[in-house]
């Protein structure tokens, strides 16, 4: 398509419009990058000039040195690996189980009506409050952390996906029915495929939620992972550990979100 | 010969917390093989409920409904699934009835070709015009080789221009395929131009008011030509008056 468009003669006004758009796009990007660099630069200068206490606030060069050292002895990769795997397993399981439960509630209206008030309360409840109980029940280990991560995302997945299921046009279901199709076919041919974008969207939300669950879990279990580095670093006043972990978490969250956004784009392209 | 569709003394009531609504009352009529019959009635009179009963989606509260042979149903909107290509949409009915055989797939491709959708078969519904989409929906219905077609205002979602040509096309296709058809419509000219008989219903609860046999003196009757027949106006005025009584 774009190739066809390129071949067309572009009027001067249209060219000017396109140029303005392009300039604006790059200005926004430029300011974004400048803000990021400016923030770190100011932080560094402020620490060097003793405007802020480098012992309490650390500084970018020191964080970088810490990261380099930990990367060289392999500790960094180990902690990142632990947190990342827990998070990915957590949000995939949360989305899968949430979707399956949403299907159950869609299938059986009685169960759906019975579950409604409980879902509303569970949705409002901060799931991390359950973390200590999970650790008591499932032990001080990775299983507990993954379960906490899963719990943070499962309820909101149920609600999002169920809502999507219920919004499918009644006439589309009628279409399956008038061909003699059964309820399973309504789900398989219409309701589920219609909601794939909705499920991918739930996946996107769950990345962030799952990170919350994992970090809180790691605070409590305190064995490995970036959450462990944060809590341990703060206890022994190694602020460079804490801040490095936070920066890495931000990068990981952004990468995971982008990965799912890319997946979403692929899916939407395939189905228009 | 056994009628393809018959209703005998059918009544239907809907139940809701606010009470009982009588939608259809003691209705009887039948449709013979190869006949095109249209039901017209004031809006909200329960016309669509009649098709729902015939298709088995809802059961009548009293009386019997009967359809002899395979049934095909056309909905108000095309309801093409946006994530399927036109070809895969047209195969949906076959898929649902586990009839996706090579012969049937070839039959769908033949019909797409025949009715001008051949080059659009790998496109998505959003890329097609309203009229083309409704044609694709008809092919989806015809793919399962129904003996009887139930049409629930399939043209009402289209704009007026498209509507005339699509009604003409689809009416012609149905006649060509020799199908028995029962159309529900609120458009009197559409009813007259397409049908062998027009059934006029009263307002809610729907009762049988009149059945008109439509005889038009045009050669090679198509829905478009039917509109030019000298008798058309008279039928229109009669049915219009019959429908108007409860509205005024």
Q: Please give the residue of chain B at the shortest CA–CA distance from A195.
A: B83
Give residue A192's pLDDT.
93
Task: Provide, as residue numbers in chain B, all residues whose Cβ is less than 8 Å from the Cβ of A271.
Answer: 82-83, 124
Give the sheet arrangement for strand B71-74, strand by strand: B71-74, B148-152, B180-185, B36-40, B197-201, B208-213
Radius of gyration of chain B (CA): 18
- In contact, B200 and B169? CB cutoff 8 Å: no
Give residue A8's pLDDT.
61
For B113, other C-beta atoms within 10 Å of its C-beta total 12
Domain assignment present for A35: yes
Low-confidence stretches of chain B (pLDDT < 50) are 247-248
B76 with A171: Cβ contact below 8 A: yes
A216 lies in the same domain as A249: yes
Q: What is the pLDDT along chain A (272 residues), one digit of tens a residue?
A: 444 455 567 888 888 999 999 999 999 999 999 999 999 999 999 999 989 888 888 889 999 999 999 999 888 999 999 999 999 999 999 999 999 999 999 999 999 999 999 999 999 999 889 999 999 999 888 999 999 999 999 999 999 999 999 999 888 888 998 888 889 999 999 999 999 989 998 998 899 899 999 999 999 987 888 999 999 999 988 888 999 999 999 999 999 999 999 988 888 776 64
**Residues belonging to chain A:** 272
Give residue A187's pLDDT.
93
Give residue A1's pLDDT.
41
A32 lies in the same domain as A78: no
Q: Identify how many contiguous H helices and E strands chain A contains and give both numbers.
A: 14, 0
DSSP chain B: ---SEEEEEEEEEEEETTEEEEEEEEEEEEE-TT-EEEEE-STTSSHHHHHHHHTTSS--SEEEEEE-S-EEEE-SS----TTS-HHHHHTHHHHHTT---HHHHHHHHHHHHHTT-GGGTTS-GGGS-HHHHHHHHHHHHHTT--SEEEEESTTTTS-HHHHHHHHHHHHHHHHHTT-EEEEEES-HHHHHHH-SEEEEEPSSSB-EEEEEE-----SS--HHHHTTSTTHHHHHHHHHHHHHHHH-
| Domain region containing A216 | 62-270
A141 lies in the same domain as A161: yes
B 203-242 → A contacts, CB under 8 A: none
CATH of the domain at A181: 1.10.3720.10
SS3 A195: coil
Tell me, yes or no, if B55 comes closer than 8 A to chain A by beta carbon: yes
A36 lies in the same domain as A135: no
A112 lies in the same domain as A189: yes
Q: Where are the domains of chain B?
A: 35-59+148-248, 76-146
A179 with B57: Cβ contact below 8 A: no
Give residue A271's pLDDT.
63
A148 lies in the same domain as A38: no
Domain assignment present for A2: no
- In contact, B112 and B135? CB cutoff 8 Å: no
pTM: 0.82
Task: Read off the DSSP letter of residue A236.
Answer: T
Give residue B212's pLDDT.
83
- Nearest CA-CA partner of A48 in A36, A38, A62, A37: A62
A30 lies in the same domain as A100: no
Give residue A7's pLDDT.
52
- Quickly tell me which residue has 């042979």 as its tokens: B69
First to last CA, chain A: 14
Domain assignment present for A42: yes
A179 lies in the same domain as A218: yes
Pick the residue of B56, B70, B79, B146 with the most A CBs within 10 A to test the interface with A by mutation. Answer: B79
Give residue A144's pLDDT.
93
Displacement of CA B137 from its chain's centroid (Å): 12
Partner residues linked to A80 by β-bridges: none
What is the ipTM score, two decimals? Answer: 0.83
Tell me, yes or no, if B156 comes closer than 8 A to chain A by beta carbon: no
Q: Please give the residue of chain B at the shortest CA–CA distance from A271.
A: B83
Give residue B247's pLDDT.
46
If one counts the domains in chain A, the total is: 2
- Nearest CA-CA partner of B199 in B77, B86, B51, B78: B51
B83 with A194: Cβ contact below 8 A: yes
Domain assignment present for A5: no
Give residue A43's pLDDT.
93
- In contact, A152 and A127? CB cutoff 8 Å: yes
Domain assignment present for A189: yes
Domain assignment present for A226: yes
Give residue A97's pLDDT.
96
Bond before B205 cis per omega within 30 degrees: yes
CATH classification (class only), B35-59+148-248: alpha beta
A24 lies in the same domain as A92: no
- Quickly tell me which residue has 């092919």 as its tokens: B139
B81 with A176: Cβ contact below 8 A: no
């Amino acid at each position: 398509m774009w190739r066809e468009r390129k071949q067309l003669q572009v009027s001067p006004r249209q060219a000017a419009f396109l140029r303005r758009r392009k300039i604006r796009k790059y200005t926004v990007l430029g300011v974004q990058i400048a803000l990021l660099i400016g923030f770190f630069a100011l932080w560094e200068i402020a620490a060097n000039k003793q405007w802020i206490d480098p012992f309490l606030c650390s500084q970018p060069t020191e964080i970088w040195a810490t990261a380099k050292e930990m990367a060289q002895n392999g500790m960094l990769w180990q902690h990142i690996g632990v947190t990342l795997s827990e998070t990915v397993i957590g949000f995939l399981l949360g989305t899968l189980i949430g979707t399956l439960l949403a299907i159950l509630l869609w299938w059986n209206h009685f169960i759906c009506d019975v579950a409604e008030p409980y879902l509303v309360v569970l949705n409002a409840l901060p799931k991390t409050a359950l973390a200590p109980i999970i650790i008591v029940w499932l032990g001080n280990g990775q299983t507990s952390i993954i379960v906490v991560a899963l719990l943070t995302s499962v309820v909101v997945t149920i609600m999002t996906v169920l809502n999507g299921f219920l919004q499918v046009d009644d006439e589309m279901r009628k279409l399956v029915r008038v061909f003699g199709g059964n309820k399973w076919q309504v789900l398989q041919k219409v309701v589920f495929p219609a909601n794939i974008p909705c499920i991918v969207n739930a996946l996107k939300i769950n990345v962030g939620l799952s990170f919350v669950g994992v970090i809180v879990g790691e605070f409590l279990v305190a064995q490995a992972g970036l959450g462990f580095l944060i809590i341990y670093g703060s206890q022994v006043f190694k602020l460079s550990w804490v801040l490095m972990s936070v920066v890495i978490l931000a990068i990981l969250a952004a990468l995971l979100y982008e990965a799912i956004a890319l997946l979403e784009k692929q899916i939407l392209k395939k189905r228009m | 010969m056994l009628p393809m569709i018959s209703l005998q003394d059918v009544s239907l009531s809907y139940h809701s917390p606010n009470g009982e609504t009588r939608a259809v009352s003691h209705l009887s009529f039948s449709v013979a093989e190869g006949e095109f019959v249209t039901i017209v009635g004031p809006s909200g009179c329960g016309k669509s409920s009649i098709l729902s009963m015939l298709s088995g989606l809802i059961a009548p509260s009293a009386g019997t409904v009967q359809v002899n042979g395979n049934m095909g149903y056309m909905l108000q909107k095309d309801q093409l699934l946006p994530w399927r290509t036109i070809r895969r949409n047209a195969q949906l009915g076959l898929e649902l009835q586990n009839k996706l055989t090579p012969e049937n797939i070839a039959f769908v491709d033949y019909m797409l070709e025949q009715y001008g959708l051949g080059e659009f078969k790998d496109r998505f519904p959003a890329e097609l015009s309203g009229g083309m989409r409704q044609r694709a929906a008809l092919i989806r219905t015809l793919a399962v080789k129904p003996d009887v077609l139930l049409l629930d205002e399939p043209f009402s979602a289209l704009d007026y221009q498209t509507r005339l040509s699509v009604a003409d096309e689809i009416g012609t296709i149905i006649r060509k395929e020799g199908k028995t058809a029962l159309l529900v419509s609120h458009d009197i000219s559409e009813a007259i131009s397409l049908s062998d008989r027009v059934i006029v219903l009263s307002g809610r609860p729907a009762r049988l008011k009149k059945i008109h046999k439509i005889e038009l003196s045009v050669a090679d009757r198509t829905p478009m030509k039917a509109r030019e027949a000298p008798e058309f106006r008279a039928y229109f005025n009669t049915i219009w008056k019959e429908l108007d009584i409860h509205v005024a």
